[in-house]
Amino acid sequence: MQLRMPQTNYFMLPPSATVCLFVLPQEHDVSNKRTKTMLTNLAAGHPHDRVGDALHGQLWFLHISLRTCMRSLLSLAMLLAGNILYAEDLSKPGRYRVQTELDQWTDPGRNNRVIPLKIYAPANSKGRLPVVLFSHGGGGSREGNPLLGDHLASHGFVCIHLQHEGTDDRASRRSPRSIRDAANDPKVCADRFRDVAFAVQQVEKNELSQVLRGRLDPERIGVSGHSLGGITTQVIAGQDVKGYGQQFCLPKLKGAVILSPSLPRPGFGDSATAFKDMKMPMLSITGTADTPPDKSFPAKERRVPFDRTSNVEQWLLVLDGATHFTFSGNLERPRIAALLPGMEADPKLVENHDKVKAVTLAFWRWTLLDDPIAKDQLTTVLPKIVQSNGELEYKPAVQQHAK
């Protein structure tokens, strides 16, 4: 610890002077006559008597500075302890009871395409509510990832989980290859991307349901997804897609949470350029055993979007031993999952889910609620909590300069 002394014109020590620093206990109040006399006598006994009075004054100042500094350190320690408790509490349910509702939208611009959805909302909340749109993985449905739907809604967010016809559970039962085709061909996935754009329009109209009519905040919308839904989220966040560019990007959104992120498959483009111009802060979440079901790349390559992106703020959460199933947000595996690589049971599922909930909630509090404390949690405290079973990396945005 270094104390910086103010520059003064009235106090100069000769080069040969020796300064003794006395740290007095709390009970020695410098205003006390006895304490002042002690300091004065100590200063007067110094070989350079001519600076005795000045030295007494400086010792008095140092004592005050140290007392102030110690109080500041104590306050800082209490603040850090409070922050750690606050960060740990992020994995616990919030103050609101969660109400759910099943609904569906019809998009007249796409031959009346039906988009089933499930809404998670905080009951009895007041004011305009931030919105998180969620895109399920291949072969999933609007019932996917209740973990985050329930958790975020309990903390005051509205979560709208979309179901994408053509890459949902019904399509998978009709043709198991449809999911692999979608992951490799943006043409097959295009309706997914348009579903998210249509959902944003519906939120902006603020006619979601009778309960939430007029309650949504159209200026505070984020997007999230798992696996194929993670690819969908990346594209919405600005990933350049072969043959489409950034046609599907929605830069008005405030942030993106990508569960099981993916490098671009050959049909989608080149990883060297796909992430050069992302449009919003991103949180990528994966695990060391997060192998894709088609085994098309090793789990460690799920960090490619994080590594290749530099123009927006990012976090990357990697959990030791977490599998692809971990991030589906379910406590029980579907029967078919036992047949798929990467869908093995996670022995630390509950612990890993708690970390996912805490980090995700902090990210949305920062991006959708402009909470600076939440950002501090992401960059300073949560990495320490996560390190027991993983790593949370932060990557600041690098400003791009026109040549």
Give the pLDDT confidence of 354-365 residue by residue, as tens digits. Answer: 999 999 999 999
Between the alpha carbon of residue 93 and those of residues 77, 88, 154, 156, 354, the distances in Å are 26, 11, 6, 11, 10
Counting as low any pLDDT under 50, the low residues of the chain are 1-31, 35-57, 59-62, 73-82, 85, 401-403
In terms of Cβ atoms closer than 10 Å to its own Cβ (0-12, 13-18, 19+), residue 20 is exposed
Residues 6 or more apart whose Cβ sits within 8 Å of residue 83: 373, 376, 377, 380, 381
Using one digit for the tens of pLDDT, what is the confidence trace for 123-143?
Answer: 988 899 999 999 999 989 999
What's the angle, vertex CA 133, arms to CA 346 and CA 380, rounded to 5? Answer: 60
> Please, where are the H alpha helices in 206-324?
228-236, 304-308
What's the angle, vertex CA 356, arms to CA 352 and CA 358, rounded to 5? Answer: 115
Q: Mean pLDDT, the chain, as a whole number? A: 82
Task: Report the pLDDT value the prediction gives residue 208, as an integer from 0 to 100.
Answer: 78
pTM of the predicted structure, to 2 decimals? 0.78
Helix (H/G/I), strand (E/B), else coil: 91: coil
Task: Report the pLDDT value the prediction gives residue 71, as an integer from 0 to 100.
Answer: 53
Asked if residue 199 lies in contact with residue 162, where contact means CB atoms within 8 angstroms, the answer is yes
What's the angle, vertex CA 239, arms to CA 234 and CA 241, rounded to 5? Answer: 115
Task: Report the pLDDT value the prediction gives residue 67, as an integer from 0 to 100.
Answer: 58
H or E element, residue 289: strand 282-289
Using one digit for the tens of pLDDT, what is the confidence trace for 172-229?
Answer: 888 777 778 888 899 999 999 999 999 999 999 987 777 788 899 999 999 999 999 9
Between the alpha carbon of residue 95 and those of residues 66, 92, 118, 355, 361, the distances in Å are 42, 10, 21, 19, 14
